[in-house]
Amino acid sequence: MVDKKLVVCETCTNRKMNFDKGMVCGLTNEKPTFIDLCADFIKDEDVKYIRNPESEVEVSDIQYKISDRALLKLKEEQNLPIGILVSFTVGIFGALIWAAITVATEFQIGYMAIAIGAGVGYSLRLVGKGIDQVFGITGAIIAVLSCLLGNVFTLIGFVANAESLSYMDTLLAIDYSLIPSALAENFSPIDLLFYGIAGYEGYKFSFRKFTEIELNKLEK
């Protein structure tokens, strides 16, 4: 059963923030213990709504909703290096799939860039467990780089088919100094749009998510 006590307390004038315990009752300096109704409840008319306890909290708001002790615990669980390793691996895998589809169909599906961005972000969130801004920035950078790699792999695939070479032989023989100019020749404004969306998703999905209920449990 969902515990909504703290959500009710947020609309009470007796509420108080304790740096060790989070939100407590100002009369007892303890977490609420009432069952259904609180006899000391006084509605705060300045509070316009009651938040859904199952709604997700913006990562920028987490530090204001939990104690310093709970926040420190979350920061200690972060792992940026392993997050970078896994998310970049996912990005490369996505770039290879995108290139393979493009070479096979001779048509570039721009929406694949969005899928790559989401995949990078989610994998970084899963293993990195980040709440700091650096995780979002990292996710955005890896997402965009993965999209660029997808275009590079596509170019190599087309060259391999045109010259009747294996992909490995093409990887070893191609003049990589020509790749930037080749990418520039095939660049279109729509690519910039998809790259931007991929970067945004890489940023947005890289952060660890919590509901109001989960944040409250961290204080126990």
Give the mean model confidence (pLDDT) for residues 66-70: 81
For residue 149, how far is the Cα from the chain centroid? 21
SS3 of residue 219 by DSSP: coil
Q: For residue 117, is pLDDT > 50?
A: yes
**Rounded distance between C-alpha atoms, residue 113 and residue 191, angstroms:** 9
Residue 91 CA to residue 206 CA, distance in Å, equals 13
- Asked which of 40-44, 46-50, 65-69, 202-206 is least confident by mean pLDDT, the reply is 46-50
Residue 217 pLDDT exceeds 50: yes
* pLDDT of 145: 95
State residue 150 phi and psi, 5-degree precision: -60, -40
- Residue 39 reports pLDDT greater than 70: yes
Q: What count of other Cβ atoms lies within 10 Å of the Cβ of residue 19?
A: 9
The residue assigned the tokens 């799939």 is: 97
Q: Which residues of 144-166 are buried (b: 16+ CB within 10 A; e: fewer)?
A: bbbbebbbbbbbbbbbbeeeebe
202 has pLDDT over 90: yes
Taking the complete model, does pTM exceed 0.85, yes or no? no
Contact 175, 94 (CB under 8 A): no
CA-CA-CA-CA torsion sign (45, 51, 57, 62): positive
146 contacts 124 by C-beta, under 8 angstroms: no
Among 35-44, 50-59, 157-166, the range scoring the smallest mean pLDDT is 50-59
Distance CA 90, CA 127 (A): 12
CB 199 within 8 A of CB 143: yes
Percentage of the chain modeled with pLDDT above 90:
33
d(CA 35, CA 86): 45
d(CA 78, CA 133): 12
Asked if residue 156 lies in contact with residue 102, where contact means CB atoms within 8 angstroms, the answer is: no
Six token digits for residue 95: 């770039």
Residue range 71-84, pLDDT digits in tens: 888 999 999 999 99
- Amino acid identity, residue 168? M
